[in-house]
Homo-oligomer: A and B are copies of this chain.
Amino acid sequence: MQNTPITLKFLAEKLKMSVSTVSKALNNYPTINEYTKKRVQEMARDLHFTPNKSAINLKERKSRIIGIILPNLLDYFFTRSIYGVEQFAMKNGYNVIISQSHDELEKEIQLADMLLKSRVDGLIVAISKNTQDFSHLDQFENMGIPVVYYTRNPSFNLSCHKVLGNTFQGCYQATKFLINRGHQKIAYLGGPKMINFTHDRFNGYINALKDNQVPFQAELVAYTDFDKENTVSAIQNLFKDSENMPTALVAFKEPILFDAIKYLKSIHHPKFDEIECIGFGNTPFISYLDSPPIASIEENPESVGENAIKLLLQLINREIELQDYQKIMVDCQLVVH
C-alpha cells in the first residue's frame, strides 16, 4: 500500500500537459486558460495532490519555521500563549519550534544559536529574567530575520517589536476594585525587578491609588522573584507592622500569590479572613484553594500569542518594514470569583 506521493509531474503526465502549466494552473496564473485550470484543479483534488513543502521552501529560500523562546512551558501563561501562536502559524503554513530557556540567559543564548542555525524565518521571544545584553537576539535582525518580543521584553529599548499584555491597565483595575470594596491599605507584591512589566504593574497600582485619593505608602510595596523563600520574606515585610497591616494585596503572579496566602494562613494572621487578594493569571487551580483570591486578572495569553505571530508574519512578508517598530497591547480583564 506504499503509494508514492502525487507530484506535479505525475499530474502533468496524467493530463498530458507540461509541469509548468499544471503549476501555473494550480497557482491561478491569469495566462492559463480557464478550462485548463478547471481540469487541473479537479484532477489535483481527486488525487489528493499536496505540494511538497521542502521543494517550495527550497525554491523560495524559506524554511517556513518560526522559532519561539520562552522561559517555561509549565507556566500557564506561556502554555496558553503557545496555543494562539500554533493555531495561527499552522493556518499560514508555518511550523513552530518551541524552546524553553528555563529563565537562564546562558540557555537562551544556546537556543538562539540553535534556531539561527535552523534558519527560522522569524523569532518570537519572551526573554529570561536575566537578559540585559541582546546581541544573541540582535543577530537575527542583522540577518533580516524579524524578531517579536512578547510579554517579557527590553522595556528601555524602543527599537524592537513588542506584543504585551496591558498590564498597567490590569493592575489599575484590580487596585481600583479593591478600593471600591473599601480597602485603604492595599499592598503590592511585585515580581523580579529585571522583568519589565513589574514596573508597569506597579504604575497601574500607584495610579489607581492616586486617582482614588488613597494615600500611597512605601511600606506596602515589596518585591520577590519566583523563589518561595523570597516571597515569604517579602510578605513578612509587608505585614510586619501590626499598627499598619494591609487589608488587601495585589500580586504580580498567581502561584506567588498562593505562596503568600499560604504563609499568611500558616502564621494564623488574626484578620486573615478579611484580607482580600488579587493576582495576575486566572489559573484554573484557584477553585481548589480553601482561601481563594477574591478575583484574578485575566491576561488573555492566547490573544497575546496570536498577536505576536500575526505581527511576525507581516514582518516576514515585509508587509511591515523591519525598522517600523510596532508595539501592540492586549487588554486584561478582572475576573471576580
Residues of chain A having any CB pair with chain B under 8 Å: 1-3, 5, 50, 52-55, 57-58, 63, 65, 73-74, 76, 79-80, 82-83, 86, 90, 95-100, 114, 117-119, 142-144, 255, 258-259, 261-262, 265, 284-285, 287-291
Query: When chains A and B are docked, how far (Å) is the Cα of A262 from the Cα of B142?
Result: 55
Query: When chains A and B are docked, how far (Å) is the Cα of A157 from the Cα of B117?
Result: 42
Q: Which residue of B lies closest to A58 (CB)?
A: B54
Q: Which 7 A-B pairs have the closest CB atoms?
A: A54-B57, A54-B58, A290-B290, A258-B288, A1-B142, A285-B285, A54-B54
Chain B nearest CB from A130 CB (Å) reads 21
Cβ contacts under 8 Å, A52 to chain B? 58, 119
The answer to whether B74 touches A86 (Cβ under 8 A) is no
Query: When chains A and B are docked, how far (Å) is the Cα of A265 from the Cα of B289?
Result: 11
The answer to whether B83 touches A73 (Cβ under 8 A) is yes
Beyond A52-B119, A86-B98, is A143–B58 a contact (Cβ under 8 Å)? no
Among A55, A79, A96, A117, max chain B CB count under 10 A is at: A79
Number of copies: 2
Q: Which residue of B lies closest to A3 (CB)?
A: B143
Cβ contacts under 8 Å, A291 to chain B? 290
**Contacting residue for A74 out of B54, B76, B118, B255, CB 8 A:** B76
Cβ contacts under 8 Å, A1 to chain B? 142-144
The answer to whether B73 touches A63 (Cβ under 8 A) is no
Cβ contacts under 8 Å, A76 to chain B? 74
The answer to whether A86 touches B63 (Cβ under 8 A) is no
Cβ contacts under 8 Å, A142 to chain B? 1
Cβ contacts under 8 Å, A53 to chain B? 63, 118-119
Cβ contacts under 8 Å, A73 to chain B? 79, 82-83
Cβ contacts under 8 Å, A95 to chain B? 65, 95, 97
Query: When chains A and B are docked, how far (Å) is the Cα of A13 from the Cα of B94?
Result: 33
Cβ contacts under 8 Å, A262 to chain B? 287-288
**Contacting residue for A289 out of B114, B118, B288, CB 8 A:** B288
Query: When chains A and B are docked, how far (Å) is the Cα of A209 from the Cα of B134?
Result: 59
Query: When chains A and B are docked, how far (Å) is the Cα of A35 from the Cα of B251?
Result: 63
Cβ contacts under 8 Å, A117 to chain B? 50
Query: When chains A and B are docked, how far (Å) is the Cα of A118 from the Cα of B89?
Result: 13
Query: When chains A and B are docked, how far (Å) is the Cα of A57 from the Cα of B143?
Result: 24
Cβ contacts under 8 Å, A74 to chain B? 76, 79-80, 284
Cβ contacts under 8 Å, A90 to chain B? 97, 99, 114
Cβ contacts under 8 Å, A258 to chain B? 285, 288
**Contacting residue for A50 out of B119, B143, B287, CB 8 A:** B119
Cβ contacts under 8 Å, A255 to chain B? 284-285, 288
Chain B nearest CB from A171 CB (Å) reads 22
Cβ contacts under 8 Å, A79 to chain B? 73-74, 79
Query: When chains A and B are docked, how far (Å) is the Cα of A288 from the Cα of B288?
Result: 9
Chain B nearest CB from A261 CB (Å) reads 8
Among A73, A97, A288, max chain B CB count under 10 A is at: A288
Chain B nearest CB from A322 CB (Å) reads 10
